[in-house]
Amino acid sequence: MSKRSWNHFQKKEPAPSRGPVTGCDLADFSALLSPFCQDPFCRLRPPFSMEAARLSLELADMTYTLDLDPWKDAGWTDFSILIDDSLQSGLTHWESGEGLRAFVNKFRIMRAKVSLLDPNPVSQVLSALRQREKSDTVKAVCMMHPGENGTWLLAIGFMGTGKRFYDWISNFRFTTEEGFHRGFYQLCESFELNAESIVFPTAAQALGVEKLTLGEVFASMRSLRSPFRLWMAGHSQGSAVMQVLTHRLMTDWGVLPQNMVGYGFASPTVATGRFVYDPAAYPLHHILNSDDTVPRMGALLHLGMCEEYKSDEAIRQTTYGWSMEEEAVQLRDELAFFEEGMTDMPAVLMYTTALLQCMAEEKGADGLNDLMTSWWAIPAVDRVLWRAGDRAMDLVEKFNEHSQQGHIALTGRPLDEDALRTLRERIRPIVKQHSARSLWHVLLEYGAAPHHLTLRDRQQDGAYAYIVRQSAQQLRPFVWIKQSGHLPLRRYADWDPDGCTPRSALAIARRKRQPALPVHGKLRVSYSARKL
């Protein structure tokens, strides 16, 4: 959406109960309560709804801003904010007439917002050191809304990675735990540890109980007669945590899938499939931008059903904001094969390792130090990381080692040295011609622009807000199918000519005696020939 159209939308001054991004009614959640129906892949799940997608985008966006006022005005209550190991739970009302309680609640919300920024360099370094053993930087908002006949809707929004540099550490835990991406799994565990500390005082009073905790709500949802329904949403890392939590709720807590629904945006893959019977059998929907590389990262597959938007020039020109300087345009063209080649997490590890190895060979320690220093904008962190002159080279070696471990965990085999060598030689002319900073800047553009939920600093839609607001009809569903001895396969939904019977792209390909070819951007990649 252009800046002009965004400003026009803002001037409408929607009612306080309207979402600030899509303008949807935050009190109307009927689309989230629809009964399960059969999807194009012959599985029962909550029907995909654009009304539910808009609500979910609002919830995912709110986890970044912690602007709770529109939700409070729409009737939501019992807010809990979890930032790392700090929990502010049971926030109800904060009108000016409520005196001390209003002041305390506003102070707790302000403290949570400050902790998301963490401007203290010393605190950032200490927090990073705390992540060495286990990730605990989960960020979530819980809240309740009364429904009809004594029912309650529990909403949990999970925030994405955020602006603090140590929030990224969990994303780089490429190895696996219980068949899931280790970093995302640990964040989910960190959230679950607070299940008995997150409380809902208003709901407890209405239900006539002394105290109501999140753990008790989960326990209640083991029954179809439960008064509670769970709605979750998240963007990026937040959507990854949502997927792991859904799995754990169904397998460890015994929560019935009929009591849950979730929407993710820019969702990473989270599981290997080894401890998941059917990846598609989860009550989750994921909206993915085909230009976005993040949904191809993490592990091997998503849980639930994905809705992929095939990117075009309209979304790129409207929301990406790519630099049009001559060198940037040239570099984007030269690196197109790099972005397109990262079709899944094993390929991401392969391409990234080849690039770093090539840059280390061509730019040396000074070039890498210059690159990394341009990334970290915190002087204290710079001093810690680059005290030794060859620290960047050490980090490259550590990353290469970590990539090997992650590749083995996902595929059962190390990175292919011949393939690495071929990639390095293809990348080398580009690395020689351009500075490390220019390369890094364009790669960040490629990765960040298609990934944004909203762009508040530019007062316009990000890629995912654009998709939800304007382009829902172009979404193409797919699910992941496990294959014995092979990596998981994307199965897209297509329809027979009579428009009645759903069939998969895999079945069509077999009928034509061709391999099924999932599409990422302009590249078509066959997974069927890639063995574990």
Q: Is the model's pLDDT at 513 over the cut of 70?
A: no
Which pLDDT belongs to residue 143?
97
Q: How confident is the model at residue 520 (pLDDT cuts 50, 70, 90)?
A: very low
Q: Is the model's pLDDT at 418 over the cut of 50?
A: yes
Condensed to tens digits (0 to 9), the pLDDT of residues 162-201 reads: 777 777 778 888 888 999 999 999 999 999 999 999 999 9
What stretches of 42-136 show up as alpha helix (H) in DSSP? 50-65, 69-73, 100-117, 121-130
Give the list of residues 6+ apart from residue 108 with CB closer than 8 angstroms, or none. 81, 88, 91
Range in 130-134, 269-273, 376-380, 403-407 the model is least confident about: 376-380
Which pLDDT belongs to residue 354?
93
What stretches of 386-474 show up as alpha helix (H) in DSSP? 391-411, 417-433, 436-448, 463-470
Closest Cα to residue 527, out of 415, 411, 416? 411
Instruction: For residues 357 and 371, give the distance between their C-alpha atoms in angstroms, rounded to a whole number.
Output: 14
Using the CB atoms, write b or e for 149-165: b if 16+ within 10 Å: eeebbbbbbbbbbbebb
Q: Is the model's pLDDT at 379 over the cut of 60?
A: no
DSSP secondary structure string for all residues of 312-352: -HHHIIIII----SHHHHHHHHHTHHHHHH--SHHHHHHHH
Pairing state of beta strands 152-158 and 139-146? antiparallel
Q: Is 496 helix (H, G, I), strand (E, B) or coil?
A: coil
Range in 15-29, 108-122, 197-211, 374-388 the model is least confident about: 374-388
User: Residue 26 carries which side chain, given as an amino acid letter?
Assistant: L
Condensed to tens digits (0 to 9), the pLDDT of residues 58-96 reads: 999 999 999 999 999 999 999 999 998 888 888 886 555
Torsions phi, psi for 208 (to 5 deg): 75, 30
Report angle CA 417, 419, 423 to the nearest 5 degrees: 115
Give the list of residues 6+ apart from residue 25 with CB closer than 8 angstroms, or none. 17, 18, 19, 74
Q: Is the model's pLDDT at 508 over the cut of 70?
A: no
83: tokens are: 């930032």
DSSP secondary structure string for all residues of 110-131: HHHHHHHH---HHHHHHHHHHT
Condensed to tens digits (0 to 9), the pLDDT of residues 455-470 reads: 866 567 899 999 998 8
